[in-house]
Structure 1
Amino acid sequence: MKQAVIGIYAHVDAGKTTLAESMLYDAGRIRRLGRVDRGDSHLDTDAMERDRGITIFAAQAELEHAGARLTLVDAPGHVDFGAEAERTLAALDYAILVVAANDGVQSHTRTLWRLLERHGVPTFVFVNKVDLLPDAGSASEKDVLLAELCRRLSEGCVDAVALGDPAGQEAAATSDEAALDEYLEAGRLAPATLRRLVSGRRVFPCFFGSALRNEGVAELLDGVANLVGECSWPSEFAARVYRVTRSDRGERLAWLKVTGGELRAKQQVSGVSCGSPWSEKVNEARIYSGARFEPVALVAAGRTCAVTGLTRVRPGDVLGAEPAGARPTLAPVLTYGVLPGGADVHAVYQALCQLSEEDPMLGVSWDERLQQIGLSLMGSVQLEVVRGLLRERYGLDVGFGPGKILYKETISASVMGIGHFEPLRHYAEAHLRLDPGPRGSGVVFGSECSEDELDRNWQRLILTNAMERDHLGVLTGAPLTDVRITLCTGRAHPKHTEGGDFRQATYRAVRQGLMEAGARGECVLLEPWYTFELEVPADKVGRAMADLTRMGASFDAPEMEGDEACLAGKVPASELGEYALEVMAYTGGEGRLSLELAGYEPCHDADRVVAAAAYDPCADLANTPDSVFCSHGAGYTVKWDEVPTHAHVEDDPTRLRPWRAADATFFSS
């Protein structure tokens, strides 16, 4: 039997969960159709989802239809939960993108389309709510909708009904040279050819209907079952972790897509988390359908499951022979101060850290100086969900300060950092080279230190220490990113060195190197930027260009199409505010702003942001750049700028050069 894992994606309120409900009903998996507005849908199982009427957490269910076993994954549609939607991509073979006929292609629809494109996921399109159109179901309405899909998504969008008709296969054939030759020679395309065009993202079959009225759903099921292809998997065990959750009973569940071999209950599996290898036993494997599950003894390659017993995995981790996946595209751009109220601040911090194990995009930080928790996330709706989880799961009623832009820091040139920690009867020294990394690479770690200079166990300890915390920049105290940290040399004492000594030396080395870079003007403040497409009536393009210029955006000359102008470019997230609402206001509802996070780039007004932060890196005692040396039986502090002259290991100037992969003895991100 053919099998495929299919994610269902959509802009919020497009009818995604209702479509999944109808597909399960038509396939005989559920006896009655649930409704999102009634709070009884099969896949929205969480109380907050039922209350809000939106999907917050991905859920799945299996069905069988026309000789194919399909696992449906209902992904969140709200933009605040885009990171959760992106994580599910690791489990998918295909996707269904739902577009509401009465709304058309929305900005978040295009963001989801680009994510599917970036991850190479073959995609079907279901145009929902056609019953709400004035001329519902007519050929002319369908042609208009299909033309919009071709214009705003891909020219490969074709009417799925036409794919079953040799005369209608011409559009699909023109997408591929070999397919066109076949069509010209035989007058039609073989089913295997159509499946190849779909799986290769040459063709995107489009279906039309109304999920609420259960119209067009049977055709969608037939088309998907017919067009998904067979997949062969490696024989060696491999799996990707795409979610981590907790069950109603508090069990930690790791959700896996098995991509090689098979997974058995009680099987020992291995992986790497935060640079440290581990091995643990799977206690139980479960196949879920909504809130219900069935324990299974074996999960074959190509299927998804949830397992208990794995305490160290995080979303994005890989198991067995599975290669490391791509870094996520979506990232939080807002940070909030947590107001614990009457709750113990440390209990709140521990609860948030546990939630961040389930959602890596939930950034939790602790400011020792201010004794304050910081929380970075996607937006206000996600903030309310976090508040609800803290209340329901941990009994903590907390508040949050106003949201601020989440800045980050990096460096523009290589620098050597030295950390020394030698109070009485302790000893450790570490020399770390900090190199600028590619944009979006995060912080990665490696070693090119000789074992003649420092034992391998000490080297691994230094890298583990470096990776166990978020390092802060020295301009505003913002998180460090896009930096390679390489251990070059160090020294331990045969009698006095303990593990914690290298932790202190490592932290101080990173910080001392950043202070050196700052003194040379080589620290860079980064801010989140969005790529945008702004569509406005032609007579409003002057206003739009003036607004974008004021916001510090970079953009190309407007492209005109009839009475509409389109501006495309990049804009700092800090300047956007509620501009999407402004566009709707000054265009009378005819304008449309599409945004996608482009990543972090140099801040457009860095001097102002740095001055406003008034951050003193030397006063941040939890992240001190100074070192501790010992003389006459007593430890004393040496300021960061004097550390190189006091260091016990002489620095080799040739080490201060760009990082080369061939030099690193081991390297982890």
Structure 2
Amino acid sequence: MNALKQITAGIVAHVDAGKTTLSEAMLYEAGNLRKLGRVDNGDAFLDPDNLEKKRGITIFSHEAQLETDNFKMILLDTPGHMDFASQTEEVLSVLDYAILVISATDGVTSYTRTLWNLLKRYGIPCFIFINKMDAPDVDKDKIIADVQKNLADNCFDFSDINDDFYENVATVDEKLLEQYLNDGIISDNQIKSLIAKRTIFPIYFGSALKLQGVNDFIAGIEKWAKVSEYSEKFAARIFKISHDERGNRLTWLKVLGGQLKAKIELFPDEKIDQIRDYDGTKYQVISVAKAGDVVAVTGLSSTYPGQGVNVADIANSLKPVLTYRVNPGKNDIYKCLDALKILEDEDPNLHIKWSEHLQEIHLQIMGKIQLEILQQILAERFDLNVTFDQGSILYKETITQKIEAVGHFEPLRHYSETHLLLEPGKENSGVVFENDCSLEVLDKNWQHQIMTALTSKEHLGVLTGSPITDMKITLIGGRASNVHTVGGDFREASYRAVRQGLMELKIRNACKLLEPWYSFRLEIPAGQVGRALNDIQRMNGKFNGPEDNGRYTVIIGQAPVSEMQDYANEVRSYTHGEGYLECVVLGYRDCHNSEKIIAEKNYDPVSDLENTPNSVFCSHGAGHTVTWDKVPEAAQFPYTYPLN
């Protein structure tokens, strides 16, 4: 008997597009569900959590297994609300294919485009399902045009394959077009390859709620999806951490090569206990998971989303932009901290920070809905009724010029010196680390210590003490002592080098403050356009020309999160509930009021002793501090690295 064709597919969509309803319908039509549940009834198979039932939205990713006679799809349902986009992104790292659901009544929204860009970032081929085609006044041709305009030209209707279809497919590749013109044939395998390479994207149509077009969609995926090839060497990627009802910590992973066996030591001193094969909330314990399987394992305590085993780690591109302080009320603050640390284990983007001195807990989030859900989780799971105090915007800093930086650490019987090249990076690229140091200059072991130190720390800027971003930091040289250099010395020198370079750039006015910006879509009654445009200008936003859709007008643009984060309530108020604002985090851009923010923060980088820019040198048998501006001279600087 031939093995089933197996793929892993994740369903992604804007909230209320019908993503979970489609998942439910696919499982029902395939015969894997006896009863068709509904999100609004709170009995959906893939929304089992109490909070999901109450809210009517998907908050956590869930796994289901769809199986036909010759085909098996491991189906991963993901959150639809933009506040939980980072959890959605974590799932993308293990997908063979994505299913993008678009509501026929809403079309391509801002968040749809965000999801599309994420799929592009991860190189995931995609099947598109246009849902709610049973709604009145739906125009199929207009929907296709909307998708092709806002997502990609090569999104083609696969529900009606005819000569026009093959002609459209042939135009995406010159060799394929020449072949088609010569013999009039495009094979199924060629179409499969085009889909797998993200050259074309199939579109299907239907109504998940009424089970229309669902069987055709399943058949389409079964026909056109290719099975991934895996190596014999074991590899895996972790995409989720959760806890079961008994408190067992679950590490969710996909096997990307070889086999995973129970009772093996996957990491030093960490042995896998159970391997669980989940289908909804039910699971069976298995002894071996093969390549392509998605499973949850118990027994591991140090794993994290995005972690690779014999493959590279993957870091989320979507980051929180707001920070809040926890108000514990009558609860013990340490009990709140313990609970939040568990939740941070599941979602590292919360970035829980504890100040022993202030007895305060701070956390980072994407938006208000996530905060409300977090409050409910603390109440239901941990019996903690807490509130959150209005937080602040998460600013970041970057540089506009390159510089050679140096850090020196030489207290008595210690010695290390690190030379770095700091350069501006691309917008929203984060911090990139590279090594361009010769082994003739510095031993490999010391280079490894420097690179480990650089990558393990969140480096802060010198304008407000905010994290740096959009920078490239390259190791270009250093010095060690055969007698006095010991472990940890280069960590101190490297941290000081980063800060020393930033201080040099500050006096050159080559440091700048960044703030998060929203991409927004505002839909309002036509009579309110003047008010809206004035508001956007007041918020230092930018916008395209308003589009008139009859009774309503659509305004698309960008604005600082700090100005627009509470604007949705204003819109509902002045439009009497008829207006709608959708905001998606666009990334970090120049801060619109940087002078004001810098003055308010009143940050003194030299007084920040944990991130000092100064160095330590030794003379007359004792270590002494040399201020950052004198370090290049004391270190016999420059290091002769070409800056041009």
Interval of TM-score (by shorter of Structure 1 and Structure 2): 0.7 to 0.9
Report the equivalent of 1:294: 284
1:36-435 equivalences under 5 Å are: 36-131=39-134, 133-134=135-136, 141-163=139-161, 165=162, 170-177=167-174, 190-267=187-264, 281-320=271-310, 322-323=311-312, 325=314, 327-341=315-329, 348-349=336-337, 351-366=339-354, 372-392=360-380, 396-412=384-400, 413-420=402-409, 422=411, 427-435=414-422
TM-superposed CA distance for 1:26, in Å, is 2.0
C-alpha distance after superposition, 1:638-659 (max 9, x if no partner): 54445556x5x5434314747x
Corresponding letter in the other structure for 1:606: S
CA contact 1:369–1:622 (8 Å) conserved in 2: no
- List per-residue Cα deviations over 1:122-144 (Å, max 9, x = no partner): 2222233334x236xxxx74445
1:264-295 superposed Cα distances (whole Å, 9 cap, x missing partner): 3345557xxxxxxx796544433211122223
CA distance in 2, matches of 1:371, 1:54: 35
Q: CA deviation at 1:329?
A: 3.2
The residue that corresponds to 2:478 in the other structure is: 489
CA gap of 1:343–1:519, structure 2 versus 1, over 3 A, is: farther
The superposition leaves residues 458-513 of structure 1 with CA deviations (integer Å, 9 ceiling, x where unpaired) of 55444434433322212111112233444532446846x66455555544443343
| CA gap 1:341/1:433 in 2 versus in 1, 3 angstroms | farther
Matched residue type, 1:233: Y
Matches within 5 A, 1:645-656: 649-655=635-641
Shift of 1:23: 1.5
State the Cα distance separating 1:8 from its structure 2 match: 0.8
> What pairs with 1:26-41 in structure 2 (closer than 5 Å)?
26-41=29-44
Change (3 A) 1:100 1:563: closer
C-alpha spacing 1:215/1:651, structure 2 compared with 1 (3 Å):
same
Q: Which residue identity does 1:433 align to in structure 2?
A: L
Secondary structure of the equivalent of 1:335?
strand
8 A Cα contact 2:96 2:228, kept in partner: no
Match of 2:21 in 1: 18
How far apart, in 2, do the equivalents of 1:308 and 1:368 lie?
32
SS in 2 for 1:299: strand
CA deviations on 1:66-121 (whole Å, 9 max, x unpaired) are 51111111011001011111221111122222223343333322322232234332
Q: Secondary structure at the match of 2:160?
A: helix
8 Å contact kept, 2:278–2:296: yes
Deviation track 1:132-157 (CA, whole Å, cap 9, x = no partner) reads x236xxxx744454444444444444
Report if the CA contact (8 A) 1:625-1:640 is conserved: yes
- In the TM superposition, residue 208 of structure 1 has moved relative to its aligned partner by 3.1
Q: What is the TM-score of this pair, normalised by structure 2?
A: 0.85
Greater shift in the superposed pair: 142-151 or 470-479: 142-151
Q: 1:175 to 1:591 in 2, by over 3 A?
A: farther
| Residue segments in structure 1 that go unaligned for 5+ positions in a row | 271-277, 659-669
C-alpha change, 1:436 and 1:548, in structure 2 (3 Å) is farther
- In 2, the alpha carbon distance for the partners of 1:367 and 1:518 equals 29
Which stretch shows the higher mean deviation, 478-487 or 539-548? Answer: 539-548
Change (3 A) 1:76 1:556: closer
Deviation at 1:453, TM superposition (A): 7.1
Contact 2:408 2:617 in 1 (8 A): no
Q: What secondary structure is seen at the aligned counterpart in 2 of 1:518?
A: helix
* Residue 222 (structure 1) shift: 1.9
Query: Normalization by structure 1: what TM-score?
Result: 0.82
TM-superposed deviation, 1:202: 4.3
Contact 1:453 1:491 in 2 (8 A): no
Verify the 8 A CA contact 1:162 1:169 in the aligned structure 2. no
Residues 152 and 420 of structure 1: CA distance in aligned 2, closer, same or farther (over 3 Å): closer
Q: Which amino acid aligns with 1:414?
A: I
Task: Work out whether residues 63 and 278 of structure 2, in 8 Å CA contact, stay in contact via their aligned partners in 1.
Answer: yes
Equivalent residue for 1:274? none
Question: What is the alpha-carbon root mean square deviation over aligned residues?
Answer: 3.9
Tell me by how many angstroms 1:303 deviates. 2.9
Paired residue type of 1:85: T
Count, aligned residues: 638
The answer to whether the Cα contact below 8 Å between 1:340 and 1:348 also exists between their aligned partners in 2 is yes
Local SS of the residue matching 1:215: coil
- Which stretch of the first structure deviates more once superposed, 49-58 or 4-13? 49-58
Q: Is the 8 A contact 1:417 1:514 kept in 2?
A: no
Residues 279 and 568 of structure 1: CA distance in aligned 2, closer, same or farther (over 3 Å): farther
Distance 1:535 1:118, change over 3 A: farther
Choose the corresponding residue for 2:509, options 497, 507, 521: 521
Q: Classify 1:580/1:115 alpha carbon distance in 2 versus 1 (closer, same or farther; 3 Å).
A: farther
1:194, distance to aligned residue in structure 2 (A):
3.8
| CA distance in structure 2 between the aligned counterparts of 1:567 and 1:433, rounded to whole angstroms | 45
Structure 1 residues 194, 98: CA separation in 2 closer, same or farther (over 3 Å shift)?
A: same
Residue 468 of structure 1, aligned match among 456, 473, 496 = 456
Query: In the aligned structure 1, how far is the partner of 2:355 from the partner of 2:465?
Result: 10
Amino acid at match of 1:161: S
Residue identity matched to 2:193: R
